[in-house]
Amino acid sequence: MKSFYITTAIDYANGRPHLGHAYEKVLTDVVARFRRLMGDEVYFLTGLDEHGQKVQQSAEARGIEPIELCDEAAENFIGLCAKLNVSNDDYIRTTEDRHKEVVQAILQKLYDQGDIYKADYHGYYSRRAEQFLQEKDRDENGEWPVIFGEVEEITESNYFFKLSQHQDWLVEHLETNETFIFPRFRTKQVLEFLKEPINDLCISRPKERLEWGISLPFDENYVTYVWFDALVNYVSAIGYGMDEFEDRWPVDFHVIGKDILVPPHAVYWPIMLKAAGIALPKSLLVHGWWLISGAKMSKSTGTVIDPLDLVDLYGSDAFRYFVTREMNVGQDSEFSEERYLARYNSDLANDLGNLLSRVLTMLNRGLGGVIPSPEVEEELETELWKLWDATREETLELYNGFQFHIGLEKAFHFIGSINRYAEQRAPWKLAKSEDEKDIKLLNTTLFVMSEALRLAVGLVEPVMPETNEKVYGLLGYESDAEWKTRLVRGTDIAGNKVGEKTILFPKPQNHS
């Protein structure tokens, strides 16, 4: 069976992990975990883009070798994945031999086919910035900004990849494959871009200007630049050229930010693949950005908080929950500590965490910590189970369409209903009664609350794997049944010994 193959964009080594990196990892991980739970064999790739001018310059500035800088970055970014509980199966670094070999093999193939040619590139070059400038770099008076220093017109030989001849089929592919890009409206932006003729793509840099890269296999005086290096990670990591490649490619989803859709992933990459005789990706999943308006000061500390610090403060599940609950995939969203705390306190601590606390306390206090068997089913129970069945179906459908924010809303609405059910049954009152009927109701109520809680944390497992595991453990629940089976109400947990009362999401102290 072919794997469900999903990737994130690879991060650029010249920088530190930030919210954007973290979000993309979490989103991709949520999809990956969801597919695994749905029964797919998932292969999840992420990695690091390590070549290029900025890395070379930063390393020089610090007096270290580029690879040392990359090793550092790799440690940081791999650390981020671990911290976020990201379940990637592999981590590709573009300085690895397995990657370089594939890049060179593909370049050689395209060169042999005549898809790559050498030509002069003429343009305005800034020595200070060590880059060619574009018309849009000019200021409003049509002058070059002073930061570029002296700008000279020069001519440089470089290698180019033929793009223009591929325009027609790409347009047709975009028009006929509605699921190629999610959300769909992004397709229009690509088509808009393709209305104008596209120029061939410059894919090399002379080594005098850029040394830190992969050498062109057919000309040792050049390295390849950006796209033929970075994009190729998606195939190099899964063994392009080897048998195993066929088990994974074509990729099911490239998860990317909206900034790198046009032109790299929607134009260059499909054309590169087609030219190399490789199948096209099935889909691109394009997410929006987190907007951090101004640099809001925290009221309590007077400092600006790094969103990633919130992972350390409140745990990875809380962070994963927040970004998944707040972001409508494809749109932009606002990030603030206030909103984070509102979600944390209200949804996680008050609704979910507190529910677990009260269930465990009641079980440990009156019933020796053992989940009783249900003994009656009246309208209150029937209603709750009906809601569960609807919630499960709706939420899975929403997850399937990447509507995680609404799916989580439904799931937490169900959690709210468990709290409501508890108030209606008031087991703390029933516990004071000697009446046979009340005892049956008490047993039923505590069972129903426990079972409903088990089901609810199961439903949010792709987003909050740690919480799921903890709550399962505390309810004494173990199962190797597949997900959809675990999400069906049963009585397996009756008779289980539960854990001590546990605060899942402790409230921060010094906040109003």
Site residues (CB under 7 A) for RNA, limited to 211-250: 225-226
Spacing of C-alpha 44 from chain mean position: 10
Stretch that binds RNA, among 102-110, 261-269, 379-387, 477-485 (CB under 7 A): 261-269
Q: If you ran DSSP here, which 8-state letter would residue 389 be given?
A: H
Contact predicate 229/49, CB 8 Å: yes
263 sits near RNA (criterion: CB under 7 A): yes
> Residue 289: what are its φ and ψ, rounded to 5°?
-115, 155
299 sits near RNA (criterion: CB under 7 A): no
The minimum distance between CB 334 and RNA, in angstroms, equals 5
Where are the alpha helices (H) located in 63-184, listed in sequence order?
66-83, 97-113, 167-176
Nearer to RNA, 86 or 348 (CB): 348
Stretch that binds RNA, among 1-9, 22-30, 324-332, 388-396 (CB under 7 A): 324-332
193 sits near RNA (criterion: CB under 7 A): yes
Sites for RNA among residues 414-473 (CB under 7 A): 416, 419-420, 422-423, 426-429
16 sits near RNA (criterion: CB under 7 A): no
Sites for RNA among residues 339-378 (CB under 7 A): 339, 342, 345-354, 356-358, 361-362, 365
Sites for RNA among residues 28-57 (CB under 7 A): 49, 52
The minimum distance between CB 472 and RNA, in angstroms, equals 16
Nearer to RNA, 115 or 347 (CB): 347
The minimum distance between CB 342 and RNA, in angstroms, equals 4
199 sits near RNA (criterion: CB under 7 A): yes
Stretch that binds RNA, among 27-35, 58-66, 198-206, 300-308 (CB under 7 A): 198-206
Q: How many CB atoms lie within 10 A of CB 192?
A: 10
CA distances 442 to 363, 372, 431, 447, Å, are 10, 9, 7, 8
Q: If you ran DSSP here, which 8-state letter would residue 280 be given?
A: P
What does the per-residue mask of binding to RNA show for 372-411, with x meaning CB under 7 A? ---------------------------------xx--x--
Contact predicate 187/165, CB 8 Å: no
Q: If you ran DSSP here, which 8-state letter would residue 494 be given?
A: T
157 sits near RNA (criterion: CB under 7 A): no
Tally the residues of the chain: 512
How many CA atoms are closer than 13 Å to the CA of 484, on its beta-carbon side? 8
Spacing of C-alpha 436 from chain mean position: 52
Q: How many CB atoms lie within 10 A of CB 273?
A: 20
